[in-house]
Structure 1
Amino acid sequence: MDKVCLRGRDYRDLAAVEIHAEHGVICQIRPLPQDDALPIIAPGLVDLQINGFAGVDFNHYPINEESVLAVTRRLWQEGVTTFLPTVITNNDDDTEQMVRGIANARRRFAAVGYGVAGIHLEGPFISAEDGPRGAHDRTLVKAPDWSLFQRWQKAARGDIRLLTLAPEWPGSAAFIRNCVQEGVTVSLGHTGADAAQIAAAVEAGASMSTHLGNGAHLLLPRHPNYIWEQLAQDKLWCAMIGDGEHLPMSVLKVFMRVKRQRAFLVSDTTSLAGMPPGRYQLHIGGDVVLSEQGRLSLADNPGLLAGSARSLLYGVNALITAGMASRHEAWDMASVRPAAMLDLPAKGGLAVGSPLDAALLGENGTGELKVLSTYAQGECVWREQ
């Protein structure tokens, strides 16, 4: 679509505006007379950690290229216009095939090529210890291997944009420097590293913490420990699962206060996000139950989470309804901030020169937001019926 005009109330201050775009890029924003009947308009959401959605698992080989397109389209309903399919620890050959399948889908389908900003490789270069390792297969965890990573990056045609690793492995600093030189963002996660190892990783160029506070030992020294140490590193961005269950709201509040503009949300969804409630069998987690409220837990131990099944929009609304963030801040934490961390074009949000990736929103009496329609590159890609 060459030209498009959207009218709405800017999510930051609810001022009525008219946004003009040409060839998918915002070229003019004009004020309008105030009209409270207009929907709220906000930048599209950006999710840097999606393991799967609506029955599609990015960690189950083979990956059907059409399924990547299906997830892209399904996420439009949640207001997500940019995301990173996330591939976790697996055997070398399956990892190669999974990143190749996602890369092929990006080149086959224009919608995927635009909506998928790259691949997040979460492992296998993580801690082998119980707790920090999380649900990753211990037998497949290994030390950072540059030649192996290059093999995967070649299969992905350079699409691996974000890599999560544990910096306590020998040689991690050199590996991180190699990644950064090749344009790959390195995030610390699933780690039991000490203060010196974390500092060395940051010095080498690591710039993010993956779902901080999760993928950790059940018991930690009060200080020092690797959560405090990552919080204290000013150069690290802090990704958080904001559903109120992976982290208590009080912990989210502390992380937000410490990291400020470098705190942002991810969903870390599994393939059961967007699926009907019920009992399911996962290849990671086994027998699980998805509740009516969207909570995913082990069938034989409902107190233990089995991953996330709630979208990024849920996390935004959790912060708003808990009174922990304004609409403006909560939405930024799930849109322009993660885009800025990865230096994506969407980092400009609703501004001249930025892509017109946007969600038109309704708001209920508690401030909770609902997506009415979604635009990607100025084109309406989903609208509520």
Structure 2
Amino acid sequence: MIRAIHYATGGAIEIRLKGGVITAIEAVPEGGADAPEELPIAAPGLVDLQINGYQGRDFNQLPLSAASVSECIRLLWAQGVTACYPTVITNDADAIEQAVAAIADACDSDPLMNGCIAGIHLEGPFISPEDGARGAHDRRHVRPPDWELFSRWQRASGGRIKIVTLSPDWPESREFIRRCAASGVIASIGHTSATSEQIREAVEAGARMSTHLGNGAHLMLPRHPNYLWEQLADDRLWCCLIADGFHLPEQFLKVALRVKGHKALLVSDAVALAGMEPGGYETPVGGRVVLTPEGRLYLAGNPLMLAGSASMLTAGVAHLTNGGLAEWPEAWNMASVRPAALMGLPSAFGLTPGAPADLVLLRRSLDGRAEIEQTFKSGVRVY
């Protein structure tokens, strides 16, 4: 039995767990619990749809071992993450195959790990080769969508690739997206130079998501139309946002939250340098990068070009809340039950009887950040 404060209602509750699920949630009568300030907050576990690594463990660093993948997932438990989609980015065909196979090995070696790794996010190599839109991805390995090649990677992953980020401006994109949709893989628009018409065609073909909208984009765009407006305006697209305070200005975040509503999601896009000391680093994808004391990560040769995020989902929740862009429970939902709902995970039911016991106990610090005290996955306390 867990006694805590409900993250959304603010009321004291008792949570009962059995067999990996929440069996009951009951309100604690006034005077029947510890003082509210002594109780932790109970909230659904975080679900990260886009994460490249953490604390020196990199899903794109070869050779990648199952042990390294598992170590990274265990470190994420301390950040309140109970499900994630390790992200493998643009690289040569063999490197991608090796990376997804190692992630699959980690899943096969441990049932708990298999539950925490809800799928793999393949970000590239089917993206735009243009500067700006390509971001920090290596242009040498960018290529048009290729279903046979993707199927090879999918076999190596044991069918675990659940999200593919691509640019719809390739002639092959529309048919590729149709095949993704038919096979249960979410095609996500990102790192694109597509026209508005190509965006619309991609959505008609089955694209369902926008990858870190507002990033992986040209520095200069036509006033209108452009691919940002088109994705914001299409109600069928879920919208992923990096709210670390560096990737997007508050004005963009505010607009995206208002127009997307319940389809606005937070992702970390964290790379292996998240949780590391500030300084210069050499990375396997992107080369030389700099991590500032404030947490901004950029390419050493181009300070204007971000090289991923060094912040976790809890930082995004705090940024939205501290900026008055969302109430804390709403911001937490954007990083937990909402991404779970998009991906069809049972944890989308959150703190309700019958839902998986994927939850965290936390306290909020003075700067608004969540300090994770305990993390439960399928009823097992993993942190």
For the criterion TM > 0.5, the same-fold answer is yes
Q: Which residue of 1 aligns with 2:148?
A: 147
Pairwise CA RMSD of aligned residues? Answer: 1.3
Report if aligned partners of 1:52, 1:271 keep a CA contact under 8 Å in 2.
Answer: yes
Q: Which residue of 2 aligns with 1:57?
A: 58
In structure 2, what is the Cα distance between the partners aligned to 1:46 and 1:130? 31
Report if aligned partners of 1:289, 1:298 keep a CA contact under 8 Å in 2.
Answer: yes
Q: Which residue of 1 aligns with 2:5?
A: 9
The Cα shift of 1:60 comes to: 1.8
SS at match of 1:170: coil
In structure 1, what is the Cα distance between the partners aligned to 2:99 and 2:207? 25
Q: Where do residues 199-348 of structure 1 align in structure 2 (5 Å cutoff)?
A: 199-299=200-300, 302-348=303-349
The Cα shift of 1:288 comes to: 2.3
Moved more, 342-351 or 209-218: 342-351
User: In the alignment, residue 39 of structure 1 is paired with which amino acid?
Assistant: P
The Cα shift of 1:54 comes to: 0.9
Report if aligned partners of 2:103, 2:157 keep a CA contact under 8 Å in 1.
Answer: yes
In structure 2, what is the Cα distance between the partners aligned to 1:97 and 1:267? 24
Report if aligned partners of 1:69, 1:111 keep a CA contact under 8 Å in 2.
Answer: no
Q: Where do residues 26-41 of structure 1 align in structure 2 (5 Å cutoff)?
A: 26-34=22-30, 35-36=35-36, 37-41=38-42
SS at match of 1:339: helix
Q: Which residue of 2 aligns with 1:117?
A: 118
TM-score by length of 1: 0.95
In structure 2, what is the Cα distance between the partners aligned to 1:127 and 1:300? 21
The Cα shift of 1:366 comes to: 4.9
Change (3 A) 1:227 1:311: same
For residues 28-87 of structure 1, what are the alpha-carbon distances to aligned partners after superposition, in whole Å with 9 as ceiling and x for unaligned?
A: 111113441211100000001011111011112221111111111101111111100000
SS at match of 1:107: helix
Q: Which residue of 2 aligns with 1:23?
A: 19
Moved more, 260-269 or 12-21: 12-21
SS at match of 1:17: strand
User: In the alignment, residue 131 of structure 2 is paired with which amino acid?
Assistant: D
Moved more, 364-373 or 321-330: 364-373
In structure 2, what is the Cα distance between the partners aligned to 1:139 and 1:44? 38
In structure 1, what is the Cα distance between the partners aligned to 2:131 and 2:97? 26
Report if aligned partners of 1:128, 1:138 keep a CA contact under 8 Å in 2.
Answer: yes
User: In the alignment, residue 243 of structure 1 is paired with which amino acid?
Assistant: D
In structure 2, what is the Cα distance between the partners aligned to 1:51 and 1:243? 15
Change (3 A) 1:145 1:273: same
TM-score by length of 2: 0.96
For residues 4-45 of structure 1, what are the alpha-carbon distances to aligned partners after superposition, in whole Å with 9 as ceiling and x for unaligned?
A: x21111100111111112111111111113441211100000
In structure 2, what is the Cα distance between the partners aligned to 1:135 and 1:54? 20
User: In the alignment, residue 27 of structure 2 is paired with which amino acid?
Assistant: P
Report if aligned partners of 2:314, 2:369 keep a CA contact under 8 Å in 1.
Answer: no
Report if aligned partners of 1:321, 1:368 keep a CA contact under 8 Å in 2.
Answer: no
Structure 1 unaligned blocks of 5 or more:
none
The Cα shift of 1:110 comes to: 2.5
In structure 1, what is the Cα distance between the partners aligned to 2:162 and 2:332? 23
The Cα shift of 1:368 comes to: 3.2
The Cα shift of 1:298 comes to: 3.5
SS at match of 2:151: helix
In structure 2, what is the Cα distance between the partners aligned to 1:237 and 1:377? 27
Q: Which residue of 2 aligns with 1:196?
A: 197
Q: Which residue of 2 aligns with 1:375?
A: 376
SS at match of 1:133: coil
Q: Does 1:186 align with 2:187?
A: yes
In structure 1, what is the Cα distance between the partners aligned to 2:205 and 2:307? 33
SS at match of 2:290: strand
In structure 2, what is the Cα distance between the partners aligned to 1:239 and 1:367? 22
Structure 2 unaligned blocks of 5 or more:
none
User: In the alignment, residue 16 of structure 1 is paired with which amino acid?
Assistant: A
Change (3 A) 1:169 1:302: closer
Moved more, 286-295 or 93-102: 286-295
User: In the alignment, residue 14 of structure 1 is paired with which amino acid?
Assistant: G
The Cα shift of 1:301 comes to: 5.0
Q: Where do residues 343-354 of structure 1 align in structure 2 (5 Å cutoff)?
A: 343-354=344-355
Q: Which residue of 2 aligns with 1:69?
A: 70
The Cα shift of 1:200 comes to: 1.1
The Cα shift of 1:256 comes to: 0.5
Moved more, 272-281 or 199-208: 272-281
Report if aligned partners of 2:60, 2:284 keep a CA contact under 8 Å in 1.
Answer: no
SS at match of 1:103: helix
SS at match of 1:152: helix
SS at match of 1:26: strand
In structure 1, what is the Cα distance between the partners aligned to 2:283 and 2:73? 22
